[in-house]
Amino acid sequence: MNGRRFSTALAMSLLAAVVATAVCVTEVSAATSSAPIAFGKDGDIWTVAADGSGLRQLTSGGADDYGPAWSSDHGTIAFIRRPGRRVWLVNAAGGSVRRLTYTGPSLVTGSTDLAYSPNGRLLAGSQVLSNGRYAITVLNLRTKTSRLIVRYFCEGGARSLTWSPNSRQLIATIEYGGGYGTLRIDVPGKRLIRTNYGGNMESASWRADGRYLLCSYWKVEEPHYPFWTFLMKPNGTKVKKLGEAQRFPDYSPDGSQYAFLRFNPNNDCDLLVANADGSGVTTIVEGVYFGGPAWK
């Protein structure tokens, strides 16, 4: 009897573990599928699910729209529109498009990217000050006033912007002298924590737990597939190589996957997704705009 009771208890325990595991997997899958990816295509802003379904065009017309960034509640997407180099907003569910008006330094004259802070209070960008001089700028979304955070020198402006989960630090990747550099900024203190002009990090995406960055890294010695994706610590230490020929990787909200761009034979880009460890690479949209996809 004791052995039978033990066997029954063990079986029930194993069954509970299997059920718990199944629930966990279902929750991860649902979280991933419910968070669409925003990107630029044919001069407009689009969204798509990670499995390639639900492709939706959000903007249209003769303007050139790019550089999408999700608001913290995922209800709004900010983007840059040319001509004019202004910030515009579109409802993520489709429909309403309006210009974001504010006072203070520009968010877009020195950047091809925008970034909402996780707390939903700030929007970051960059401004050209003069020839070769730029500044990281941050807009307070409540007061609709922007301010200059730090000045820097470069040749191509800010390539990517990513916030720490606590909305206090900002990492900007910049182009200079045929390479790339990294600025790590204390936003409330308006100061540089670290400057690295030798890392060749083209873009960065901060994982939601704050422990790691997902980075596109320029490998100068690799002429055919020069951009590799690395898992890195915020201090710049490389942890693991995840893939080759991958540009502008961006984490899904739950950190289980990432989206990235890859050049195709037509000399434009395709949008792909991969698991967080670099496996399961899948193309979901062909012929997209060269610029970072946004998955949060």
3-state secondary structure the chain: CHHHHHHHHHHHHHHHHHHHHHHHHHHHHHHHHCCCEEEEECCEEEEECCCCCCCEECCCCCCEEEEEEECCCCCEEEEEEECCCEEEEEECCCCCEEECCCECCCCCCCECCCEECCCCCEEEEEEEEECCEEEEEEEECCCCEEEEEEEEECCCCEEEEEECCCCCEEEEEEEECCEEEEEEEECCCCEEEEEECCCCEEEEEECCCCCCEEEEEECCCCCCCCEEEEEECCCCCEEEEEEECCEEEEECCCCCEEEEEEECCCCCEEEEEEECCCCCCEEEEEEECCCCCECC
One domain for residues 179 and 242: yes
Q: Which residues fall within 8 angstroms of residue 190, CB to CB, at 6 or more apart?
A: 147, 149, 150
Is 210 part of a structural domain of the chain?
Answer: yes
One domain for residues 45 and 7: no
One domain for residues 141 and 13: no
Residues 138-152, mean pLDDT to the nearest whole number: 97
One domain for residues 84 and 19: no
Is 92 part of a structural domain of the chain?
Answer: yes
Is the separation of the CB atoms in 191 and 183 below 8 Å?
Answer: no
pTM of the model: 0.86
One domain for residues 92 and 7: no
CATH code assigned at 227: 2.120.10.30
Residue 264's pLDDT is what? 87
Is 295 part of a structural domain of the chain?
Answer: no
Residue 157's pLDDT is what? 84
Residue 187's pLDDT is what? 98
One domain for residues 180 and 194: yes
Cβ neighbours, 10 Å, residue 146: 22
Is 211 part of a structural domain of the chain?
Answer: yes
One domain for residues 15 and 75: no
Cross-strand pairs, 147: 138
pLDDT at 18 over 50: no
Residue 25's pLDDT is what? 31
One domain for residues 101 and 235: yes
One domain for residues 45 and 28: no
- Strands 191-196 and 269-275, by their bridges, are unpaired
Least confident of 114-118, 231-235, 283-287: 231-235
For residues 21 and 57, give the distance between their C-alpha atoms in angstroms, rounded to a whole number: 36
One domain for residues 122 and 235: yes
The confidence band for 250, taking pLDDT boundaries of 50, 70 and 90, is very high
The confidence band for 198, taking pLDDT boundaries of 50, 70 and 90, is low
Is 293 part of a structural domain of the chain?
Answer: no
One domain for residues 48 and 6: no
Bigger pLDDT: 32 vs 131: 131
Is 275 part of a structural domain of the chain?
Answer: yes
Is 144 part of a structural domain of the chain?
Answer: yes
Is 296 part of a structural domain of the chain?
Answer: no
Residues 167-194, mean pLDDT to the nearest whole number: 91
What is the span of the domain harbouring residue 130?
38-288
One domain for residues 134 and 251: yes
Number of domains in the chain: 2
